[in-house]
Structure formats: structure tokens, C-alpha cells
Structure 1
Amino acid sequence: MPEWLIERGIGETRAALMENQRIIEARIVRDGVIAAGTVLQAKLKSVGRNPVAVADGREYLLPRGAAGVTEGATLNIEVTREDLGGAEPWKRPLARMTEQPTGSTPDLSGRDAATGEFDEAGWPDLIEEARSGIVRFPGGELCISPTPAMTLIDVDGSMPPDELALAGARAAAMTILRLDIGGSIGIDLPTAKGKAARQAAASALDAILPRPFERTAVNGFGFLQLVRPRRRASLVELAADRATFEARALLRQAAREIGATCLAAHPAVIAVLSTHRDWLDRLSCQVGGAVTLRSDASLAISGGHAEPA
């Protein structure tokens, strides 16, 4: 049976759905971000075609409207899409009116992972896939490119086109789950020779990807588009905000140290850490010593490391 493992870190909580000792789904829940599914009390700021509600100083768009509620009145809202942040800071979170009581929050439950358990399950490889956008599978690879309109997945490889289209569709479906990709997704498969091969590729995706989602058929050029719920930023989108992503990754690495610790990293990563004194204080308590920072422009942005102070 699949089992969720939870790793509660500094700046983020990591969750991985495990089956046969491999990650089949993953999430990163950022500290300070109101999770999708949370119910808040809000005030309706504006009505009309695009109603806006405000809760705790944050604006939420209400795409489904606010029928029967007057401007300035209070209402309960359920967050349906989190603050994406990163490369899309202009996109406000989404919500809907609800009769549920405030304080309702999504359930992120599972077995708390022991130190190193996530690494044994392949978490570092998963994070590298999110960083690079490259996912390899036998006979081919996926190249993932997030854009403001959709996430594009290009399939390439050395197999015959019909075989590669089938294998690529399967790999794309598994990757969508593993990297928590939602919203509009375009998959560019090799051009298969006939309709039967194109239908086989689409059926392979259907067999892996759980509902709800909607998709087109694979067209004659090998392109398929699907849309699935987008409740939060994908791991690929989070990784696109490189400095913040790498700062949290460095904290995860440093949490295993004992005693006074120095974090050496690219200046952009150090700049992020410098603005989060609470993260450094938590790390200091965890390692049992003072935490200092060292900026090193010669390091790659993903090359930060912890060293004895």
C-alpha cells in the first residue's frame, strides 16, 4: 500500500507518497503560505465580474463570484489555489465562498520520516529533476519548461517514434504526479505513424494519471494538452525561484550538522537567508550552536554547503 512520509523542515514541509520504496507523488509545503483547502474569514473588497476578498491582509480572487454578498460584508472563503510566489508573484491566490467553519485546514498526514529516509527514497534525485527540468527514462528523456500559460513537456529519445510516444506518455504522467504539476500542461510527443499509436499513447497517460483532468486527443503532430487542478506551485515552479529554493535546500542539508555551523553559498542564496532570521534561529536550536553565513560568488547557486564554524 502507498504510504505518505512527512519531513518537517525549516522553511518548508516535505511530503512523499511512497510505493515499493520509490516516490510516486511529492509535495513541498512552504512555511507562511496559506495552504489550499484552508477556510478563512474574509471581507469582500470588491464585487462585479472579478470579486476580491481580503483575509489577514491578503487579497484572494473569487472566480466563482460572491452572489448575495455586498461589498464590505464578511464571508468565509476556502483557498482553492495557494499563493504561487516565485516566478509568478503577480498571480493572486484563488478562493471560493463556503459555509464551512473557519479554521478548517487540509490534512497533510502521514508517517514522520526518520533522518535520511527521504534520501534513501530518492528525494535528492527528485529535487535535481525539479532544478534541471530534465527527467530521464529508459530510451529517452523529458524536458520540462514552466511558462506563465502552461507547463510544457517535450519528449525526446532514441526509440522508434511509436514506442517513444508510448513510453514518453507514461513517463510524462508519472512525472506530473511526482513533481506535483497542475494547471494547463502541454506534452509534445514524437510524431506517431498512425491513429492507433496516438490513441495508445493517450490511453497510457489515462491509465496512470488519476482524475480529475481533461485532455485533448494526441494530434497528428504528437501534441496533447491536458488540464488538471492547480492547487499550488509545482516543484518545477518552486525551483524556478532559484535563490529561495536553494536556501531551503541548504537548510535541509545543514540540519544534520552538530554544533556551530557556517553556511557557505552563492550571494543570492545568502541574501535570502539573511532576510529569514527565524530560519537561522531554528537551525541554531537544531544543531546546538551558532549559525553564521559566508557569501562565495565562486559557488554555483545550487552549490551551497554547511561547514563547521
Structure 2
Amino acid sequence: MPTISGPEWLIESGIGEERAILVEQGEIIAARVVWDEPWRAGAVVEARLGARIPGTRRAVVRLPDGSEALGEGFDPKLTEGQAVRVRVMRSAIAEKGRAKLPQVRPAAAGDAPGPAPSLLEELSDGPHPVRSVPMHGRDFAEAGWDDLVAEALTGEVAFAGGSLVVSPTPAMTVIDIDGPPPLPALALAAVPAIAAALRRFDIGGSVGIDFPSLAEKAQRRAVDEALAETLAAAGWQGERTGMNGFGFVQLVSRLERPSLIARFARAPAAAAARRLLRMAERVAEPGTLLLTAHPAVRRAMRSEWEAELARRTGRNIQWHEDAGLAPAATFAQAIAA
């Protein structure tokens, strides 16, 4: 196999989840996770126009499975109930107590109906080579997948001189910087960590960065310049505000799907179930698979996932539920039948 000198995408096809990491010099610099959402960005479907929003080109759209999406860009002459072919621009994003509906636009002329591209298809259109790797391989582990998942579960990222706390909110993803003075040095040290976190956690949309408050304009300008330069070097595309007197900066970029942190924070049991499936599929010792988890994780485990695990491994599966465990503290092992 030829040696890859630059970044390379590696893909694992898990149960209930596809995951990809962009690896450069043995480290993860970007990641992507796809769950089995019914409508993902890139899908083109036949739908029906629902209620129009008066005075706009926006409307509610009913998708083939009966679910709804928010649409924009529709001809004002179109009437409720009329068939429309739409392209999904953003998948649904779960929030506490509700979900943001998928977003759609009228499909371009010539766009044929079809599902969203797979992770392999989507990444293959990009500038980096893509390679599928086996579930039992060491590629993800050696690149630091487990550390990335741990950071996404907590939202905490350490860097030299301080730490970031990344929190999804209904309005935006908020990044808080914590660490000791001097504050100008802390703010500058946080910049590379912020740029790295955006790629590693697949964060898009509106992002608010709460830097330490810096009294002098020159200090704030230095952070603005460093942030602009670092984001550009990382390939980030979007709009950015300058730092205000309270240390706040806002970034806005294209949003097509939930970030890793948003997925894990808003569906912790489902995330833990998928993580447990990956652990179980990688157990090398012979015997029955024993899955240990919090009862909420067992409830989040779909029957078809468990059946697929049994099929892939050729093993019987047993459960041990422990309400004293944190939902993320799952464990898989082989036991004698």
C-alpha cells in the first residue's frame, strides 16, 4: 500500500453509525459522524408544499414519510398541497424538549430524486484520499478516537495554559476559555485550540467564543488577527465578528448536521449505545458477549442494532444493567457460555 504523506480520511462502518476521521501525522484533525437520520443534507425527494409563510418565499414542506421540514426559495405562485421536488440542506437537529426541523430548498433543474450521499461518497468528493478500514483494525485507536469521544462527551478540551468548555445551546455552540492570567496570553493560547476544536468536533453554524475580557484595544486586535489567521490556515469558511469589550466573538458558517458534541449532549443514551456496540464488535476473546450499561442505554439500544451485532460477531449476547453506572460508562467483554 502506498504511503500517504498528507491528510487521509479513514472510515469505519459501525452499527447505527458511520464515523470518519481525517488523520495527519498520526493525529485526528477532523471528524465526521453519521447516524441513521431519515433526512440528511444532499437528499433529493418529492414532497408536498404545506402552509406558506405570508409575504415570504418560505413554507412548511411535508416529506415522503409524513414528517415536516422548513423550506425557503419557493415560487410564490405555488399553492398548498402542490408537489415539489426539494433538496435537503440541513438535517434535523435535536434540542432539549424539541427538535429543529430539517431545512430544504427547491431542487435544481435536473436533480434526480435520491438519498443523501454516503459518508464515503461525500468525502470522496473532497481534496483528501479516503479509505475504509475494518472495525477490528487499530487505525482509529492509534489516531486517538477514544480521546476524541471522551472530549466530545464532556465538552472539555485542554490546551497548554488553559482549557476550553464547548457547550451546545439552542441558539449557538458556546466556547468558554478558562485558565490563569495573564489574560492576553491566555486568549492567544486558546486560538489554536479553538480552530482545532471546530474541525475535530465538526462544529458549524453559529459559534460564540467567550474570551477573557481584555481592557486594551491592542490586545483585542491581536487576538482578532491571530484568530483570523488560524481559522484561514485551517480552511474554515464563514463570517466572524471582531472581539467586543467583553471578550465575545461570534463565528457563523454553514450548518448541515449536528456536531459531535451536540449529538452526544442531546442524545447521551443513544450515543452511549453506539459506543457500546463499537466496543462489543471489537472484543477479540471467544465467548458470549456481555454488555454492561446503565438501564437508559439498554432502552436506547434498538433491537435491529443488537441483531446486527449478533450477526456480525456470530455470538450470543447477554446484558447486565447497572443503574449505578454513568450512561457513558459502558463495557463489553466475552464470558464463558
The interval holding the TM-score normalised by the smaller chain is over 0.9
**In the aligned structure 2, how far is the partner of 1:121 from the partner of 1:308?**
25
Query: Are 2:255 and 1:230 aligned?
Result: yes
Query: Are 2:306 and 1:280 aligned?
Result: yes
Query: Are 2:222 and 1:217 aligned?
Result: no
Query: Are 2:116 and 1:105 aligned?
Result: yes
Deviation string, structure 1 residues 174-204 (Cα, Å, up to 9, x no partner): 1111111112111111223432322222222
Alignment gaps of 5+ in structure 2? 1-5, 125-129
SS of equivalent residue, structure 2 residue 94 = coil
Letter in 2 for 1:230: L
Q: CA deviation at 1:120?
A: 0.8
Alignment gaps of 5+ in structure 1? none
- The aligned counterpart of 2:178 is 156
Conserved in 2, the CA contact under 8 Å of 1:25 and 1:177?
yes
Greater mean alpha carbon deviation, residues 246-255 or residues 41-50: 41-50
Deviation string, structure 1 residues 8-53 (Cα, Å, up to 9, x no partner): 1001000111112111111110024422122112111222344111
Q: CA deviation at 1:136?
A: 0.3
Which of 199, 205, 226 in structure 2 is aligned with 1:183? Answer: 205
CA-atom RMSD in angstroms: 1.8
Which of 127, 144, 149 in structure 2 is aligned with 1:122? Answer: 144
Conserved in 1, the CA contact under 8 Å of 2:15 and 2:278?
yes
**In the aligned structure 1, how far is the partner of 2:29 from the partner of 2:47?**
36
TM-score normalised by the chain length of structure 2:
0.86
Conserved in 1, the CA contact under 8 Å of 2:37 and 2:91?
no
SS of equivalent residue, structure 1 residue 176 = helix
**In the aligned structure 2, how far is the partner of 1:143 from the partner of 1:41?**
41
**In the aligned structure 1, how far is the partner of 2:158 from the partner of 2:88?**
35
- The aligned counterpart of 1:135 is 157
**In the aligned structure 1, how far is the partner of 2:169 from the partner of 2:296?**
23
Query: Are 2:57 and 1:35 aligned?
Result: no
Matches within 5 A, 1:229-268: 229-240=254-265, 241-257=267-283, 258-268=286-296
Query: Are 2:71 and 1:75 aligned?
Result: no
Greater mean alpha carbon deviation, residues 207-216 or residues 2-11: 207-216
Percent pairwise identity: 42
SS of equivalent residue, structure 2 residue 99 = coil
Q: CA deviation at 1:236?
A: 0.8
Q: Mark the CA change 1:123 to 1:201 in structure 2 (over 3 Å): closer, same or farther.
A: same
TM-score normalised by the chain length of structure 1:
0.93
Conserved in 2, the CA contact under 8 Å of 1:215 and 1:225?
yes
Structure 1: 4+ residue segments shifted above 6 A:
none
Q: CA deviation at 1:235?
A: 0.7
Query: Are 2:219 and 1:197 aligned?
Result: yes
Q: CA deviation at 1:132?
A: 0.6
Letter in 1 for 2:92: D
SS of equivalent residue, structure 1 residue 85 = strand
**In the aligned structure 2, how far is the partner of 1:104 from the partner of 1:305?**
34
Letter in 2 for 1:269: V
Aligned residues: 307
